[in-house]
Chain A
Amino acid sequence: MLIKNIYKLYSKTKIASRVAKQSLLLCAFMVCGFATVFAHGFNVDSTKSPALKDTSYKKFTYFRFGVDLSKIVRSQLAKDYKTYEFQIDANFSKQTSLAFEFGGGNSQVDNAFLVYKSSSVFGRLGIDKTFFNTEFKGDMDNAFVGIRLAFSPIQRNNATFVIKDQFWGDTSGVINSTRFNAMWIELNGGFRVELYKNIFAGWNVRAKTFLNPKRFELLPPSYLAGYGRGDKNTAFDFNFYILYGIGKRN
């Protein structure tokens, strides 16, 4: 009996050890994959670590102004919305930068059940933290993750609706125009690379969720600038920025 229990324990330990080993391998694989994709700058040099503690670091000395090219392309391709988006960021510490994004857009719904137009502007404020150490002074190529808080005033025009009913006949009506505000938070991640001196390119992916979803239960805009589909409580987005930087790099 004792031997049986010891064997069971041994087996469990062996399985646990195998699982742990496999998990470690998986993690290592993911890290390696990530490092391969973003290989640039993944050069941990212990001799550089004292520089990271440099107290002479000056905040807000280098600013980047950018435009989201993906939104321009999507506005041309999409039939039902137009949107534009800009970004300004500034260095805050060695590994963090403050970001302010803003933009606007309009959308229209014209289907068998609903007809209405809406427009919105938005502002997002947040912080990005870079992943990797810099390779040389002024190196700004990096991957980052960040968080944003966003606010958007929305104007929705009168909406005409039709409820189709083959037996009783269609019901139609008008929902009056309204103004309301949206708030949401975002987690984002992405990459910036300096193509030429002071000219940067890079993408962001974003996951967003409304902080006031109740407000969108009556009739949301089909496309909310800076957010995406207004009738979804969570949204995913993609940006491709071209940025121009000015100022002094630390």
Chain B
Amino acid sequence: MDSAVSMKKYTPMVFRLLILSFVTFALHSCTQNNTCLTPKSVALRAGFYKTINDTTTQDSLLTNANIIADQSAQFYGINFKQTSKFSMTLSGLTNTTRLFFQSDSASFDPSTFDTIDVNYTSQLNFISVACGYENYFTLSSLQSTHNTIDTVKLSQSLVDGDVNKEHIQIVLKN
């Protein structure tokens, strides 16, 4: 094989090869991403209900109520105005989260306060190398006082990233 001929024949090919390599390499480099962009949406979701008859409940809009988490590192509370649903993250440091329910935020009468204890176990769920882990929770039981709350029901035990699940139904006294 004559080297002069080879060089003449190969040079444009090498040039094309280098350009294509550069383009492909550049495109490949663009696919690398180590920033955490995944939203973390693991939260306990609950709804307030009132009893219609022995077997039926319906959504109960709360006009001015509070849910406040106990033992949180900083104040963690939700004020309800004309809503019946709420969501809260659970503590990964313990197996119980206590919530205070104040049916009327304007009143400090003890009969308007209730506590709800949510008992659970937590499991690690890997998200990605960039985001690390998050906790999933399996609810085991619920307890509450009964000043304004009639019953608390566990409707879905697994608290994961599914935002369409309602885990707890809180039925208020009529």
CB distance A236 to B16 under 8 Å?
no
**B10, B32, B90, B93: the one within 8 Å of A193 (CB):** B10
CB distance B1 to A197 under 8 Å?
yes
List which B81-125 residues lie within 8 A (CB) of chain A. Answer: 89-93, 124
Count A-B pairs with CB separation below 8 Å.
104
CB distance B93 to A236 under 8 Å?
no
Using CB atoms, name the residue of chain B closest to A219: B126
Q: Which of A14-22, A55-63, A109-117, A147-155 contacts B (4 or more CB under 8 A)?
A: A109-117
**B10, B25, B93: the one within 8 Å of A70 (CB):** B25
List which A167-210 residues lie within 8 A (CB) of chain B. Answer: 167-169, 171, 173, 191, 193-197, 201-203, 205
**Roughly how many angstroms separate A194 CA and B1 CA in the complex, as a whole number?**
12
B28 proximal to A (CB < 8 A): yes
CB distance A114 to B129 under 8 Å?
yes
* With contact pairs A168-B73, A195-B14, A203-B20 given, residues A236 and B3 touching in the complex (Cβ less than 8 Å): no
**B21, B24, B93: the one within 8 Å of A169 (CB):** B93
CB distance B93 to A171 under 8 Å?
yes
* With contact pairs A163-B132, A231-B128 given, residues A238 and B93 touching in the complex (Cβ less than 8 Å): no
**A112, A138, A167, A237: the one within 8 Å of B28 (CB):** A237
A244 proximal to B (CB < 8 A): no
* With contact pairs A114-B129, A167-B89 given, residues A141 and B13 touching in the complex (Cβ less than 8 Å): yes
A1 proximal to B (CB < 8 A): no
Interface residues on B, range: 35 or more
CB distance B129 to A222 under 8 Å?
yes
List A contacts of B1 (CB < 8 A). 136, 138, 197
List A contacts of B128 (CB < 8 A). 231
CB distance B92 to A168 under 8 Å?
yes
List B contacts of A2 (CB < 8 A). none
CB distance A167 to B13 under 8 Å?
no
List B contacts of A237 (CB < 8 A). 28
List which B59-73 residues lie within 8 A (CB) of chain A. Answer: 69, 72-73
B163 proximal to A (CB < 8 A): no
CB distance A168 to B72 under 8 Å?
yes
CB distance B126 to A167 under 8 Å?
no
CB distance A240 to B21 under 8 Å?
yes
The interface size of chain A toward B, counting residues with CB under 8 Å, comes to: 44
A40 proximal to B (CB < 8 A): yes
List A contacts of B90 (CB < 8 A). 168
**Roughly how many angstroms separate A209 CA and B94 CA in the complex, as a whole number?**
39
CB distance B13 to A193 under 8 Å?
yes
List B contacts of A40 (CB < 8 A). 9, 13
Using CB atoms, name the residue of chain A closest to B134: A163
CB distance A236 to B28 under 8 Å?
yes
* With contact pairs A165-B89, A167-B76, A201-B14 given, residues A113 and B28 touching in the complex (Cβ less than 8 Å): no
List A contacts of B131 (CB < 8 A). 113
List which B27-63 residues lie within 8 A (CB) of chain A. Answer: 28, 31-32, 34, 36
A162 proximal to B (CB < 8 A): yes
B74 proximal to A (CB < 8 A): yes
CB distance A113 to B132 under 8 Å?
yes
* With contact pairs A113-B131, A171-B93, A201-B14 given, residues A217 and B24 touching in the complex (Cβ less than 8 Å): no
A34 to chain B, nearest CB (A): 12
List A contacts of B132 (CB < 8 A). 111-114, 161-163
* With contact pairs A167-B72, A168-B93, A201-B14 given, residues A236 and B31 touching in the complex (Cβ less than 8 Å): yes
**Roughly how many angstroms separate A161 CA and B124 CA in the complex, as a whole number?**
10
Q: Which residues of B pack against A, CB within 8 Å? A: 1, 3, 6, 9-10, 13-14, 16-17, 20-21, 24-25, 28, 31-32, 34, 36, 69, 72-74, 76, 89-93, 124, 126, 128-135
* Pairs across A and B, CB under 8 Å, 11 listed: A111-B130, A113-B133, A163-B92, A165-B92, A168-B90, A171-B92, A193-B17, A197-B3, A203-B21, A220-B129, A237-B28
